[in-house]
Amino acid sequence: KGVFTSGRIVAVKRLRPEYYGGNVKKFDKERRILINVKHPNIVRVYGTCCTKRLKVLVLQYVPNGTLDIKLHQSGSSLHWSSRIDIAAGIAQALAYLHGEWKGKRHPMFWETKASSVLLDDDYNARLTDFRLAKAKPEDNTKTPFSGSIGYTAPAECLSGNRTLPGEVYSFGTLLLEIVTGIRPCDADASQGGLPGLVRQAFPRSVRSIFDPQLGDDVRRVEYFDQMTRCTRIGLICTNELPEERPSMQNV
């Protein structure tokens, strides 16, 4: 955390040396991409500092913690009206990113997880934690899995390659987490993870999988319908077949 001379509070993120392995060109490429990304639901990058020993990002300060804390920390809870606004903000940010690079090689991927969603004073979602897409190895060897456990499409876990349909799958899993209050890493992977757990209950027993922390919100017809609709969208986004998943623009 730091303060500009103008009085603006910023977050200062020092990147671990092992993240770039001394690759200044990689850092510079990511810096230039991030600085040009401008969307109300994505954390702004104001500037960087890059030396041989030090690589720092100067970011927009977002004061209200992460979605992960608000969903799962004891004594913390989010009303449904906040949750659906957060989900919409995440979807809009991803639709913006996918639209910006439509028809081009996608240069950046979001590290999809609730802890990579920051919340501002008004509980608007702000995405953080982006990574450069890795080039496909020329010899077609598999690259190490680098996604977030529980959020990543099975095919990407096997191949190590990040794709736009894979990012749609990850969004769908996060959406189901927002509805159920269940961390994807806590769901049984052998049963299809969180999407598999929800599919077993949907649609007949959908009420049983809604987060108990939502309390009386579940009893409101308008909210119940929204929860059910979000559950359906989450399941469509996590279809096992990548070609059957919608684009983020259509979500």
Domains of the chain with bracketed CATH: 2-60 (3.30.200.20), 67-244 (1.10.510.10)
Q: What is the pLDDT of residue 101?
A: 65
Q: Are 235 and 196 in contact (CB under 8 A)?
A: no
Residue 132 phi/psi, 5° resolution? Answer: -65, 140
225 vs 242: CA distance, rounded Å: 27
Q: What is the pLDDT of residue 141?
A: 42
Q: What is the pLDDT of residue 134?
A: 53
Which residue type does 143 have? T
- What pTM was computed for the model? 0.87
201 vs 141: CA distance, rounded Å: 39
Task: Identify the three-state secondary structure at position 97.
Answer: helix
What does the DSSP assignment read for 117-135?
Answer: EEE-TT--EEE--EEEPPP
What is the distance of C-alpha 39 from the center of its chain?
15
Nearest residue to 11 via CA among 64, 81, 87: 64
Q: What is the pLDDT of residue 18?
A: 60
Q: What is the pLDDT of residue 19?
A: 59
Q: What is the pLDDT of residue 147?
A: 59
Q: What is the pLDDT of residue 239?
A: 96
Q: What is the pLDDT of residue 39?
A: 92
Residues in the chain with pLDDT values less than 70: 16-24, 26-27, 101-108, 132-147, 160
